[in-house]
């Protein structure tokens, strides 16, 4: 078995049918705060704010983030949903959203 070296690859491998949006948000925010819960091979990966945003944007674009919140957004390609991962960090820092303290008990399902 190949050793995963990327958070993106680890999430895709562990969740071949996708990751619910609410759980993706918690994984994103917890990883923004600490990498202590990650497997050792992922702790060495540089996971700064911009890298996390890039990873979760890619997961969303690739259809791996499920149950996205609905919004009536008109884009040049029609209506759709835009997830603002960077905005989630701002909302977290301004205490508009919080970490789910119970998430660490179930994180093993996702990573």
pLDDT tens digit string along 44-61?
889 999 999 999 999 998
* Residue 1 lies inside a defined structural domain of this protein: no
The predicted model gives 92-106 an average pLDDT of 96
* Residues forming a β-bridge with 79: 74
* Residue 2 lies inside a defined structural domain of this protein: no
- Gap between the Cα atoms of 9 and 104, Å rounded: 20
Number of domains in the chain: 1
- Give the global pTM: 0.85
- Structural tokens at position 13: 């491998």
* Residue 48 lies inside a defined structural domain of this protein: yes
Residue 64 lies in domain? 7-109
Tell me the percentage of the chain whose pLDDT exceeds 70: 84
DSSP letter for each residue of 14-74: H-TT-EEHHHHHHHHHHHHH--TTS-HHHHTS---HHHHHHHHHHHHHTT-EESPPP--EE
- Gap between the Cα atoms of 71 and 82, Å rounded: 8
């Amino acid at each position: 078995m190949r050793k995963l070296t990327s958070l993106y690859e680890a999430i895709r491998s562990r969740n071949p049918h996708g990751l619910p949006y609410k759980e993706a948000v918690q994984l994103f925010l917890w990883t923004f705060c600490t990498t202590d819960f990650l497997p050792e091979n992922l702790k060495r990966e540089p996971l700064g704010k911009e890298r996390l945003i890039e990873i979760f944007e890619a997961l969303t674009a690739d259809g791996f983030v499920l149950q996205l919140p609905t919004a009536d957004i008109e884009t040049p390609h029609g209506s759709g949903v835009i997830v603002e991962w960077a905005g989630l960090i701002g909302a977290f820092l301004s205490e508009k959203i919080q970490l789910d303290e119970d998430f660490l008990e179930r994180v093993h399902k996702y990573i």
